[in-house]
Amino acid sequence: MTKENAKIRIDELRRILNKSGYEYYVLDNPSISDFEYDRLMRELINIEAEYPELITPDSPTMRVGGEVSEGFSEVSHTVQMQSLADVFSKEELYEFDARVRAALDIESVEYVTEMKIDGLSVSLEYENGSFVRGSTRGNGFVGEDITQNLKTIASIPLRLTEDLPYLEVRGEVFMPEKSFIKLNEQREASGEPTFANPRNAAAGSLRQLDSRITAERRLDIFVFNVQRIEGHELSSHRQSLDYLKKLGFKVIPGDGVFSGIDEAYAEVMRIGENRGNLSFDIDGAVVKVNSFAQREILGTTSKTPKWAAAYKFPAEQQRTKLLDIALQVGRTGVVTPNAVLEPVRIAGSTVSRATLHNIDNIKDKDIRIGDTVIIEKAGDIIPAVVGVEKDGRSGDEKPFEMPKSCPVCGGELVREEGEAAVRCVNPNCAAQQLRAIIHFVSKPAMDIDGMGASIAEQLLEEGLVSCCADLYSLKYEDLISLERFGDKSVRNLLDSIEKSKQQGLDRVLFGLSIRMVGSRAAQIIAEVFKDIDSLMSSSADELASIPEIGEKTAKSICDYFRQDKSKDLVDRLRQAGVKLTYDAQTVDESLSDKIFVLTGTLPTLKRSEAKKLIEAHGGKVSGSVSKKTDYVVAGIDAGSKLDKAVSLGVSVISESELIGMLES
């Protein structure tokens, strides 16, 4: 691969991984599977290793995780909660076994094989037999204290059957299928957005500040490891699980010990074949060395044990009938075809709709209404039609043609040369208006808390808003009479709308739904032009000359601000008091001689915010760790940068320590 091709692929991988990481870890609303995410991350790591000069501070290889919810205190783990090294094939699993046998200098190893529960890893601590604290894994060194929420899980014993002086165990909290179905039914009935999958629901439930809400979610746990124990001797993993069961824990299912990798692999395959029959979700199987003495010899890296491997299963597929093709209109007018399916159970949920992407995909795969199609959940999250069984056709199947007019407003549909997307070009299309408002109020844009999709739709239907500028004209008397609105909710929403006026030019630009302008492009443009008027009077050539802003993006921005409707929208936002300027940070020199590297996701700060704070105090943020690095600021699920910092002896600090430095 040439350097030029490597850069193109790196940019594409970073875009996908950054988006997926935010959705998975911050929004708890993932769009790709762990399997796919891990595969893409591995590809990026390999390319960056070949071309280290292409590594940048915003590369996702420096972060593998999500944010800690506000309101929970930090917990330092006395024993590091490590993650597992992943394998994706039989060959890679056998390579793991070869490394183990070579390190131990023996012919065969005794393994224990377990299901890899798709949930949230936690630590449970006991003193004198009583449950005293529970915490999340976090970055392995520091997690968050969620003791009160964990106490609501009935399968966690609050008192052990023996009064051990101290015990710390590790387990995986998950949401059973029945609880997940019931929760989504309740949320749908109340107009709330549903959770994508049980793992998403479990994570959201454990992050509730009100433990009563967590109790209603009916979470469960499987305990699978002893982290630290006093008052009892253990010699093997199998023995430890039996002992934990005796103490009152619900331990990971399965009780087999396997002589050699052949037997262990056969069990991995059996687990994979049976995954669809379980009442909870799994995303793989874990193979562990059984002997604790052998584990001591094998040791660990700074992040993963050398005595265990996680075999990740590929996405599950099912066959069902394509009943119809429905069209959905997005916020930029893109009309997306979606498959209406005969309901089918796949990867832990019932699927009745799936994406077909675009008309070219339908034609290329020759997908017809009435076909038996193959459905796959991309990473067990987003259902998609990936194939067609053409041999079983009866002749009654109907080819699909994209209509000439919008299914919502009847406006003209246009397909520009070189694009796969078909768009509705009517700016007053109701579907576009709704999705544009939903995007404008979202957290990455104007962050108007309390304005979800259902509220936006309600305001649109009531005629109170037709575009984002109308939000700033809403009054108390407009909202108080609406269904689901009380005095407190109205005041909170109006306060949030008022607060959003100060977000600044970059957030406004992103919120306007300008084609090809994401949050990164919006920030770059705002930094260059500083105010909306300078931007609106700029030419496409000026915009295209900015690094990272291409010709197509430049043209899209100019086309947008050339429209009278866009000019009117900007004027209305200005009159409402929305801030349409960008303020650069004031720099002091207190950290002028210090070099920082940010890795993982910090508890309260976004990495971009931490970078700005460091630079505002004269410090430098680097994209890679070296002997010249002064501090590595490690967040949750810190990646390879943390490993390198440990190996080089670079100081590793937490977010709170960074803030302390800035304040001093």
Any idea which residues carry the catalytic annotation?
116
Roughly what angle, to the nearest 10 degrees, separates helices 655-663 and 607-616? 20
Name every residue whose Cβ is closer than 8 Å to that of residue 518 and which is 6 or more positions away in sequence.
Answer: 510
Q: Which spans in 502-639 are helix H?
A: 505-511, 519-529, 532-536, 540-544, 551-562, 564-575, 607-616
Rounded-to-10 torsion of CA 175, 181, 184, 188:
-170
Q: Give residue 454's identity as a one-letter amino acid code.
A: S
**Hey, what amino acid is at 6?**
A
Helix, coil or strand: residue 417: coil
- C-alpha–C-alpha distance, residues 4 and 11, integer Å: 11
**What tokens appear for 272 in the block?**
């994979």
Identity of residue 30? P
Main-chain phi, psi angles of 440, to 5 degrees: -60, -40
Q: Maximum CA pair distance of the chain? A: 79
Task: Kindly give the pairing relationship between strand 257-259 and strand 317-329.
Answer: unpaired
Residue 206 burial (10 A CB sphere; 0-12, 13-18, 19+):
buried
**Distance (Å, whole) CA 306 – CA 50:** 25
Contact 374, 386 (CB under 8 A): yes
C-alpha 512/C-alpha 436 separation (Å) is 7
In terms of C-beta density within 10 A (0-12 exposed, 13-18 middle, 19 or more buried), how is residue 632 classed? buried
CB 56, CB 73: distance < 8 Å: no
Given a contact cutoff of 8 angstroms between Cβ atoms, the answer to whether 140 and 303 are in contact is yes
- Cα separation, 436 vs 332, in Å, equals 7
Q: Tell me the C-alpha distance between 590 and 619, whole Å.
A: 8
Decide: helix, strand or coil at residue 320.
strand
Contact 302, 645 (CB under 8 A): no
Q: How many Å apart are CA 287 and CA 99, to the nearest integer? A: 14
Place of tokens 């197509």: 552
For the chain, how far is it from start to end, CA to CA, in angstroms? 48
Rounded to 5 degrees, what are φ and ψ at 457? Answer: -65, -40
Structure tokens that stand for 23 in this block: 């959705």
* Strand pairing report for 335-346 and 349-355: antiparallel
Q: Which two tokens stand for residue 36?
A: 């796919």
Report yes or no: 260 and 108 within 8 Å, Cβ to Cβ: yes
Single out the residue of 437, 440, 432 nearest to residue 459, CA to CA.
437
The amino acid that residue 121 corresponds to is S
Provide the 8-state DSSP code for 350: E
Question: In Å, how far from its chain's centre is CA 381?
Answer: 11
State the amino acid at position 292 in one-letter form.
Answer: F
For residue 371 the two structure tokens come to: 């076909």
Task: Supply φ then ψ for residue 560, to 5 degrees.
Answer: -65, -50
